[in-house]
Amino acid sequence: MVVAVAGCTTEELAPTIWPPADFRIEYEERAERDGRFVPVRRFTVDAQGLAIYATATSVVVDPQPAADGAGAALALPVYGRVCAYQLVPECTRALARKLSRLGIGTLDSGAADRRDGAAPAARLRWRAFADSRTIDIATDVEWALGEIVHLLAAHLPPGEQALVGCDPARKIEPVLQAVPAPTIAADAIDFWRQRAVAEPDDDALWAAAFACAVQAGGGSGDLTSGRLANDVLQSWRASRQGRPLAPPWSDEALQRLVPQTGLW
């Protein structure tokens, strides 16, 4: 997958501490699928300025129902519509700095969930200066969180739906130039797998690669497709170095999702 270079429309100077080496911002949007909320859109930017935007083209579902009979035991989004672009250093610095100024490091995790009693429609994960936050987002957000989501939305590819938490009455002015449009990526499996190898502790990247491999082999009768999904799963397990997978993933459910395409 080609990574385009995207520049800021206004490039501001910033101290060299921006962004910190461990900087990362991740937005994950969820929707109801098969009786449970499943991630359907994600956007990330890391300290090197690599921005990845993806939307789910389908969902792969564990054939075994949950123990309580309510919905599927596991459902994974297939992030087949993807674009990746490299922010120029000035833009990455500005993004990290503005997030800090908006107080992302002081926001209360789960505040949206407690405020209205509803399940969060989206989630932010932020890391910088050895600190981190996981912040739930509802459709109605307080000012600081709304500003943060609006800032992220200004870094999306043009024409994409506004992020949950954005004020629908407020226009989003893009801050980037030359951002590619997302496309259905024929090499989505390879893309996500390469990202997972580069960041082996990020289970969400392994899950994205695995779901794409499962989708490719589902119902095809192609022996190679089944082997590919199993190979991704084994690489994912190896990356854990003996540590069990955290919910919602489990070894048993993931193994059931591997396409049964023959004896191998």
* Cα dihedral sign, 211-76-95-133: negative
The pTM score is: 0.87
Residue 65: CB partners within 8 Å, gap ≥ 6?
A: 71, 72, 73
Q: Print pLDDT tens along the chain (264 aa).
A: 556 666 665 555 545 689 999 999 999 999 987 667 789 999 999 999 999 999 999 999 887 766 555 555 788 999 999 999 999 999 999 999 999 999 999 997 654 444 444 567 999 999 999 999 999 998 788 999 999 999 999 999 999 999 999 998 899 999 999 999 999 988 899 999 999 999 999 999 999 999 999 998 754 445 565 789 999 999 999 999 888 888 888 899 999 999 875 433
CA gap 133, 152 in Å, rounded: 16
Task: Let me know the angle formed at the C-alpha of 91 by 108 and 49, rounded to the nearest 5 degrees.
Answer: 75
